[in-house]
Structure 1
Amino acid sequence: MIKKLLRGSAALALALTPLALTPLALPSPAAAAPSAGAAGVLALEDAVGQIPVAEESRQGYTRSKFKHWNAGLDADDGCNTRAEVLVAEAVEAPDVAAGCKLSGGMWTSYYDGQEVDKSGKLAVGHMTPLAEAWDSGASKWTPARREAYANDLDAEASLVAVTARTNRQKADKDPAQWMPPNPDAQCRYIAEWTATKLRWGLSADQAEADALKVFAEACETTVVHHTPAP
């Protein structure tokens, strides 16, 4: 079963090798900051600034153009993408029976802070919804890349288990149109939204970019971890 990385700040290690009689040259801020195409950790405001701003278009979109929930089906437990996320994000692990039947377990839906004890009450949502991804650049992708996006188990921010109610409320909205009702979740949400856009090279429209900047200013201690998708 694919395991997602634990949430939280990653430890950064810098190995410095001293050179005799050679002064240490510190990199400039521009040289130290990774680009959107490189893995890195950025302050939220800097990360938001790396998302390109462009007009969006939903022309030609259908959900079927993102083949989803099919990753992991060849594993021994038979769990698909949705079930993998549920198992990975449980605060108390559910039992997994043959055919990936889940029972028991406990989850916390961070959008609204609700505790949930039945997997059927949860939805697994795409951090950046499929329609929004289409608008922001995925319309130009190959079907294989859209499938990879829709089943991205390799980045913890890409998919999230939350109450079905909040996932319906979010629908295909961006942060200019919807934010989690739990105020304590909002900085994390903006960071994960930004990480997903950077990971997949997606753009933001002007209203979305403006909203991200406003939230980034309020979330001044929040950082963004992102790794470009293969």
Structure 2
Amino acid sequence: MLRVVRAAAVVALAGAGTVAALAGPARATPPGIPSKATAQTQLNALTVASEGSMSGYSRDQFPHWITISGSCDTRETVLKRDGTSVVTSSTCAATSGRWYSPYDGATWTASGDVDIDHVVPLAEAWRSGASAWTTARRQSFANDLTHPQLIAVTDNVNQSKGDQDPSTWQPPLTSYRCTYARMWINVKYTYGLKLQSAEKTALQSMLNAC
């Protein structure tokens, strides 16, 4: 995929998807993003500990995507929430629309170019305490539409993130890192997940730059 960056927009040449570099849609705003002050209080309350084992982990331990309403599953629900002028089929598949990815500043017009990112990755959650949860709680975590845990972003940016925490991966668009840190902290706080020392240091630096 060839990408040329122009200011906050990315123009892409791809077979399946095109990018609108002009008037883009409203930026994706997951619910429940705390203020800087609240995020700082939550960060201070988190337990710092070494990462746990990946033993027993699989994505199947976090059932997703689940049905949310009618024929719409979690992915389709977030695509509609985070996009502009989204048109869906009778089965709730997004057939057209525009999606702005705040991680990298790209705007996409094909839903296939968009992933729904788990802000705190499933494997990261597993290593941070979710291995001890019930499957039902892990399902709630993986499909959480109430807290800032799910967001529509450019697919290969999401894939480059993988299961990394902020000590090794942060959004390429530096202006979004403050928001990303506040989202990450809130999700870990809400679910009582632990964090590593390097992860906390990175999050604090991101908050300081807000």
Is TM (by shorter chain) over 0.5?
Answer: yes
Gaps of 5+ in 2: 1-27
1:66-112 Cα distance to aligned partner (Å, 9 max, x none): 1110131xx33x1111000000001x221122111211111100000
> In 2 relative to 1, CA 9–122 (structure 1 residues): closer, same or farther, beyond 3 Å?
closer
Cα deviation, residue 45, structure 1: 2.8
Check the 8 A contact 1:48/1:216 in 2, yes or no: no
Match in the other structure for 2:122: 130
Match in the other structure for 1:196: 187
> In 2 relative to 1, CA 41–163 (structure 1 residues): closer, same or farther, beyond 3 Å?
closer
Residue 169 (str. 1) matches residue 164 (str. 2): no
Residue 79 (str. 1) matches residue 72 (str. 2): yes
> In 2 relative to 1, CA 123–9 (structure 1 residues): closer, same or farther, beyond 3 Å?
closer
Name segments (4+ residues, structure 1) moved above 2 Å: 6-10, 44-47
Aligned partners of 2:90 and 2:31: how far apart in 1? Answer: 35
Larger Rg: 1
Aligned partners of 1:103 and 1:143: how far apart in 2? Answer: 32
Counterpart pick for 2:43 among 40, 48, 64? 48
Match in the other structure for 2:143: 151
Counterpart pick for 2:59 among 60, 63, 84? 63
Aligned partners of 1:48 and 1:154: how far apart in 2? Answer: 19
- 2:197 maps to amino acid: Q
Match in the other structure for 1:14: none
Match in the other structure for 2:201: 210
Check the 8 A contact 1:71/1:151 in 2, yes or no: no
Gaps of 5+ in 1: 1-5, 11-39, 220-230
Counterpart pick for 1:100 among 55, 80, 92? 92
Aligned partners of 1:42 and 1:172: how far apart in 2? Answer: 24
- 2:134 maps to amino acid: T
- 2:67 maps to amino acid: A
RMSD, matched Cα: 1.9
Aligned partners of 1:175 and 1:8: how far apart in 2? Answer: 19
Percent identity for Structure 1 against Structure 2: 38
> In 2 relative to 1, CA 101–154 (structure 1 residues): closer, same or farther, beyond 3 Å?
same
Q: TM-score scaled by structure 1?
A: 0.74
Cα deviation, residue 46, structure 1: 2.6
Aligned pair count?
180
- 2:105 maps to amino acid: G
Match in the other structure for 1:23: none
Q: TM-score scaled by structure 2?
A: 0.80
- 1:209 maps to amino acid: K
Aligned partners of 1:168 and 1:83: how far apart in 2? Answer: 19
Aligned partners of 1:138 and 1:9: how far apart in 2? Answer: 22
